[in-house]
Chains A and B, each alone.
Chain A
């Protein structure tokens, strides 16, 4: 498999009145052709910023890419010009946003909004682009696509709007789709439908998917490889099987333990476990391991120096000095 997206050493900082917030602080993420990679972590750990930075969709300023590279098909996007970025957006990398309710422009029909990117990148006529929009709506299982293209976003439900977003992101046949918590704003039943749709699209079109989520359940069902982020850093990276079977980082373990389990709840009287505390301030991150304050395995050593990401078994990397002890 060949790597199409290779993010290495990425640091994205945001300027605030109180100083620079290190939202993403040295992150390495690789995505192979046709692969689904998932980034997990709780709110505020830098997942969305990482994802948006790939297409430079963060506001700069106040955001700034301080260091690192984002290599897309052999070319670094960090120094790319706005015009070069525009040629990549939607055409090569599609983006699905979190909030289907607000991510569509209320004053244009969904057809116009899908057609817009097709016209921009493939130079189709208005007519042909609208036909493509209708095809895309059919592809994402929206009934009566030929008439629905002329409807406005407010005439669609949340799940339907997310289908429209997917149709929009896929309209130009991108090689990679970045889905930023595509199901967070939706009902549970609709969540499953949207994830199934994404998986189906992936099979049909063969694009790679970078799926950002905070739900471990979503990860288990959809991803081949998982990257766990915490406070702007990657703390663990592994194929999905080993990650769930033998999570090495205490944070990953905490995330997995906080998934409600139907099989246990009925028999054993067990409370759902939560990770104590909150994500540390990224304005002045603590020295050493950033998870130390919430970790029950933390020692003086953890607080002294930042743990490096180590590869313990093939493809399974972890940034914890006690990983072997914890796993054993």
Chain B
């Protein structure tokens, strides 16, 4: 097992290198200049701008710039934002807790919906509950988050005025009041993301459970005189979890990406909105840093999926 882990981590190194090369090249090919704004500023003479560019190494060829970036990354220096001059790692660390809190909670919410609803619907296929759950899941899955997000803002912030629609990181209150304010402003993004993901997973859980429920070994369990509840939990859900876990773990990184939209709508100061603003400003070090974090997340969750898979399914062994 330890050996397997070490090997997997070693394999991750070339993947990350490849990802960084591609990212860097794409960014270098992209049009735009972080100093465009300076160009339009009459107070800054062109030679100052050229000097600035040269000092940042922006006029060097792509491969030289890449190796410069790589060597400083290896030394643990993520560089500075072109725009704010703040170290990239610091920027990311500032934004990460909010993203993790919002996305983490929404994913837990999604699982709390998808598992019981999916399992219950699958054990009573085509019942009223199943039909209703299926329809709702289909609706939830079809509505994009930017639409439901705006809908919720319209309803709860504008019409009812219950919830704030801009996420603030500078709440002045302390103690309980701070928690309450945080809760109030997090609830809409969490709901939007959680319900969307929950709807998608409900359909998946239902079909995974339906696949298992007609297998022969479930009839065997029934022939042993076990109560129906125990059969469902021990013999159906346990087996159905194998594909579900894979899906959930592999989707985690995609969720971080999908959360970018939601973060934009609710102005959540998370890693997603950091990425968007960095892209708009051509802020290469920040884009590289954030996308690199995403790449690491993808590889990390892949590994988590594989480990969970082996833990759930004894037929899989690590060699």
Contacts and interface: CB of A to CB of B under 8 A. Distances in A.
B315 A152 contact: yes
A102 B216 contact: yes
Interface stretch (A16-24, A91-99, A311-319): A91-99
A172 to B, nearest CB: 8
Interface stretch (B66-74, B89-97, B222-230, B276-284): B222-230
Contact of B314 (A86, A87, A152): A152
B122 to A, nearest CB: 14
A116 B223 CA distance: 11
B222 A97 contact: no
Given A97-B216, A152-B315, A105 B223 contact: no
Nearest to A58: B219
A57 B226 contact: no
B215 interface: yes
A120 B224 contact: yes
A88 to B, nearest CB: 7
B314 A57 contact: no
Contact of A117 (B225, B234, B314): B225
Contacts of A82: 228
Contacts of B216: 97, 99, 102-103
Interface size class of A (residues with CB under 8 A): 20 to 34
Contact of B315 (A57, A109, A154): A154
A87 B227 CA distance: 10
B217 A104 contact: yes
Nearest to A86: B225
A168 B313 CA distance: 22
B238 interface: yes
The size class of the interface chain B forms with chain A is 20 to 34
A103 B222 contact: no
Nearest to A85: B225
B221 A90 contact: no
B168 interface: no
A27 to B, nearest CB: 20
B235 interface: yes
A106 interface: yes
Nearest to B235: A105
Interface in A42-59: 55, 57
Contacts of B234: 108
A328 interface: no
A113 B234 CA distance: 11
B301 to A, nearest CB: 23
Contacts of A294: none
Interface string B73-102: 000000000000000000000000000000
A102 B217 contact: yes
Interface string B239-255: 10010000000000000
Contacts of A107: 238-239, 242, 312-314
B220 interface: yes
Contacts of B238: 107
Contact of B225 (A89, A104, A105, A154): A89
A33 interface: no
Nearest to B222: A57
A105 to B, nearest CB: 4
A57 B223 contact: yes
A88 B220 contact: no
Nearest to A91: B225
A121 interface: yes
Interface centre among A87, A103, A165 (most CB of B within 10 A): A103
Centre residue among B215, B217, B226, B228 by max chain A CB count within 10 A: B217
Interface in B287-319: 312-315
Contacts of A94: 223
A88 B313 contact: no
Contact of A89 (B217, B222, B314, B315): B222
Contacts of A87: 225
Contacts of B239: 105-107
Best-buried of A94, A102, A107, A109 by chain B (most CB within 10 Å): A107
Interface in A144-187: 152, 154, 165, 168-169
**Centre residue among B216, B222, B225, B226 by max chain A CB count within 10 A:** B225
A86 B226 contact: yes
B223 A95 contact: yes
A103 B227 contact: no
Interface in B199-237: 215-217, 219-228, 234-235
A152 B228 CA distance: 23
A113 B228 CA distance: 16
Nearest to B217: A105
A55 B226 contact: no
A246 to B, nearest CB: 37
B225 A120 contact: yes
Contacts of B314: 106-107, 109, 152, 154
Contacts of A109: 314
Contacts of B235: 105
Nearest to B226: A120
Contacts of A90: 223-225
A107 B241 CA distance: 11
A57 B234 CA distance: 18
Nearest to A109: B314
Interface of A: 55, 57, 82, 85-91, 94-95, 97, 99, 102-109, 113, 116-117, 120-121, 152, 154, 165, 168-169
Given A103-B217, A105-B221, 7 more contacts: A86-B227, A97-B219, A97-B220, A102-B217, A106-B314, A107-B242, A120-B225
11 contacts: A86-B226, A89-B225, A95-B220, A102-B216, A106-B217, A106-B239, A107-B312, A116-B224, A152-B315, A154-B315, A168-B220
